[in-house]
Every structure is written in structure tokens, then in C-alpha cells.
Amino acid sequence: MSIKLSSIVKRLEEVYPPNLAEDWDRVGLIAGRPSSPVDKVLVAVDPVEKVLAEAVAKGAQLVVTHHPLYLRGTSFVAATDPKGSLVHGLIENGIALFNAHTNADSATGGVADCLAQAVGLEDTRPLIPLDEHTGSGRIGRLSAPMPLREFASKVAQSLPACPAGILVGGDLDAPVSAIAVSGGSGDSFLADARRAGADVYICADLRHHPASEHLEGGKPYLICATHWASEWPWVPKCANMLQESFPEEIEVMISRICTDPWAARITPENKDC
Ligand SMILES: [Zn+2]
């Protein structure tokens, strides 16, 4: 059994409407012929070489990723650079590529909802709402308050394993209950998380100055995951959605390869700075 690529694209665009994407974003079908038959799909965070190799090994004809391949456009797709090489690899192997980026961040059941669910939040609502259920980030509550230290270790356990782990900023013994989340780079929502009354804000890629200057002003405390780990909880959710949409026609597979750029975190011991 198989189904046309165009039918899968239509379903993906119903669940992650392209009009939810930010103006600067690029979302949709990156490579592929809409009339091509598809019977195996791989869902991943990043359109990178390792994921293409996995798709080839597993016989997928479609890779669905969160991140775009060319966010800023290109004039060249020659196989002389990594992205051009990826385009060639896709076409040579008959594999289509589709992405849902900021539209999947905002959508109901999207990246932000999946992160909120993964870390155990209840009564969630969008941090920056477009309407009741969609918008950037989420804020919700834990079923019971717990010290930041304990919550952070639960977060580390609930995200997929990756070499870089998580970073925690704030008073480790303070009780926390109201939690804001945003998958991926999160600097831009620090003020929103504070305005919403969060005790903790979870995101990825926090830099020294925004994080330090924010914490000088108090809560929310910060949990900085890696980009891949904070967005990965969406991968199985998207895969399940596709599998349930086309139970007979396709087999949907989940990529578990960590595509963070970091291979290890090395913490020095017994050292004064
Ligand atoms: Zn991202």
C-alpha cells in the first residue's frame, strides 16, 4: 500500500497550518514530486546528512522535519556543499522532504505543546497567544510544587538523552510550580515568561548576557536544554498523527538520532575557575 505525497502534505498542512508560520520562515514541501507514491515516512528534527542516511537505510520516501533546509534561500544546490549534497542525496534516493517549523511551534499539539506535556505540565495555554489554543510557547502548572533542583532533574529525565544535557539557573531549593516552555531558541520570550508569572522558563540556546541579565531580575528561573532535545518530543507526536491519519497506507518511523551539534559535555573537577 502507498499514498501520494500530495495527500500526506495536505494532512500535514491541516495539522500545522502554513499561515501560522512567522513571516521570515520557510515551511512546506522542500523537495519531492507531489504525485510520487509514499509508503514509508521518517520524522526528525533536522534535515541533515545523518537523518538522510537513516531515511535511505529504512527505505523512506518522505522525511518530515521540524527545521527548514534553506531558511534564507540559495542560488546553488551543487553537491559541493553539505546542503546541496543533501538535496542531491534526497533526489538520487527518491526521497521527498517536508518541514513544519514555526507553524508546528504554534499549532495545537505542536512543538510547544509536546514539550509542555513531556515535562508534565497541566492546564496549559499559549505563552504568546494567537487564540485560545495556538501561539508561541506554553505556560502551565505542575500537579504539585517542588524544588527547582528536583524539577530540573525530572526535566532532564523526560527529554531525550543527549550528550550536552541541560543547564539550570536560579535558586535550586526554591519551590516552583508555574512553568513556561518554548522549544528551541528561547531568548526572545524571556520577558513574556516573566510577565506571565512563570517560576521557571524552559527553552534552548540561552546565551550568557540575556540569561544573566534576566536572572538578575529574579524569576522565572531558567532551564536551558539543547535545541534538538527541546524540540524532539514533537517527533513521536507528529509520527503518531501521520500513522493514525493513514493507518493502512504508510509506515511512519521516528528518528532518534541526536542531531545536536554537541558530542560531549566535559565538566572539570576540583578546579577553582
Ligand atoms: Zn528549532
Chain segment 77-107, per-residue pLDDT in tens = 999 999 999 999 999 999 999 999 999 999 9
In Å, what is the CA distance from 67 to each residue of 71, 119, 127, 250, 259?
Answer: 9, 22, 21, 22, 11
Task: Provide the pLDDT for residue 268.
Answer: 85
**Number of Cβ atoms within 10 Å of the Cβ of 138:** 27
Q: Which of 85, 104, 123 is the last residue of a domain?
A: 104
Task: Provide the pLDDT for residue 271.
Answer: 78
CA of 174 from ligand 1 middle (Å) equals 30
CA of 84 from ligand 1 middle (Å) equals 21
**Does one domain contain both 73 and 176?**
no
**Does one domain contain both 112 and 226?**
yes
Could you tell me if residue 237 is inside a domain? no
CA distance 262 to 2: 37
CA of 203 from ligand 1 middle (Å) equals 10
CA of 47 from ligand 1 middle (Å) equals 11
CA of 260 from ligand 1 middle (Å) equals 11
Q: Where are the beta strands (DSSP E) in 20-81?
A: 28-31, 37-38, 40-44, 62-65
CA distance 146 to 142: 8
CA of 147 from ligand 1 middle (Å) equals 28
Task: Provide the pLDDT for residue 267.
Answer: 87
CA of 248 from ligand 1 middle (Å) equals 31
**Does one domain contain both 146 and 81?**
no
CA of 82 from ligand 1 middle (Å) equals 19
CA of 141 from ligand 1 middle (Å) equals 24
Give pLDDT tens digits for 105-159.
Answer: 999 999 999 999 999 999 999 999 999 999 999 999 999 999 999 999 999 999 9
Tally of domains within the chain: 2
Could you tell me what percentage of the chain is helix, strand and coil, using 3-state DSSP and rounding each to the nearest 5?
35, 25, 40
Share of the chain above pLDDT 70, in %: 100
CA of 172 from ligand 1 middle (Å) equals 27
CATH code: domain of residue 76: 3.40.1390.30
Contact between residue 136 and residue 112 where contact means Cβ atoms under 8 Å apart: yes
CA distance 214 to 123: 26
Could you tell me if residue 259 is inside a domain? no
CA distance 42 to 88: 18
Sheet containing strand 122-129, strands side by side: 122-129, 135-147, 175-185, 200-204, 221-225, 167-169
**Cell output for 73:** 534561500
Q: Which of 62, 81, 104 is the last residue of a domain?
A: 104
Q: Which of 71, 87, 104 is the last residue of a domain?
A: 104
**Does one domain contain both 21 and 126?**
no
Pairing of strands 62-65, 96-99: parallel
In this prediction, residues 199-205 reach a mean pLDDT of 98
**Does one domain contain both 159 and 186?**
yes
Could you tell me if residue 89 is inside a domain? yes
Which residues 6+ apart lie within 8 Å of 182 measured at CB? Answer: 105, 112, 115, 127, 136, 137, 138, 189, 193, 201, 202, 203
Task: Provide the pLDDT for residue 104.
Answer: 97
**Does one domain contain both 128 and 223?**
yes
pLDDT at 18 over 80: yes
CA of 259 from ligand 1 middle (Å) equals 11
CA of 185 from ligand 1 middle (Å) equals 7
CA distance 79 to 85: 4
**Does one domain contain both 197 and 133?**
yes
CA of 183 from ligand 1 middle (Å) equals 7
Q: Which amino acid is at 37?
A: P
What is the domain extent for residue 147? 108-230
Task: Provide the pLDDT for residue 272.
Answer: 77
Could you tell me if residue 219 is inside a domain? yes
Residue 48 φ/ψ, nearest 5 degrees: -125, 170
CA of 233 from ligand 1 middle (Å) equals 12
Could you tell me if residue 243 is inside a domain? no
CA of 187 from ligand 1 middle (Å) equals 13
CA of 273 from ligand 1 middle (Å) equals 32
**Does one domain contain both 181 and 121?**
yes
pLDDT at 240 over 90: yes
In Å, what is the CA distance from 28 to each residue of 100, 139, 208, 233, 260?
Answer: 6, 28, 34, 20, 23
Q: Treating both helix axes as pointing N-terminal to C-terminal, what angle do 234-245 and 5-15 enclose, rounded to 10 degrees? A: 120
Could you tell me if residue 251 is inside a domain? no
CA of 72 from ligand 1 middle (Å) equals 15
